[in-house]
Amino acid sequence: MMGDCTPRKTTCHPFLSQPIMAGNWYNYTETLGSNEYCEINIDASQFVGRVVVDDAMTVGATYSYNGGTDLEIGKVLDVN
């Protein structure tokens, strides 16, 4: 028997990029259990935001954003 294949949402840190953060690294470690997922809100509307997903065995990512049909500088990008 395979068990429950319905993923469970858990909480992950959001990321808000601001000019004061320039040149600094901010590290948040998220550990997900089997059959869990989280949504990470990355807001780079005030300043360039760079997000690295590192040391992951398997990562699936989709994105959505608020507004327009094309990604643009200054728009909010939600990765979940």
> Which pLDDT tens digit goes with each residue over 39-52?
888 888 888 887 77
User: Residue 42: beta bridge partners?
Assistant: 15, 77
C-beta separation of 43 from 16 below 8 A? yes
Percentage above 90 pLDDT, the chain: 4
Contact 62, 79 (CB under 8 A): yes
Q: What is the pTM of this model?
A: 0.59
Give the least confident one: 2-6, 23-27, 69-73: 69-73
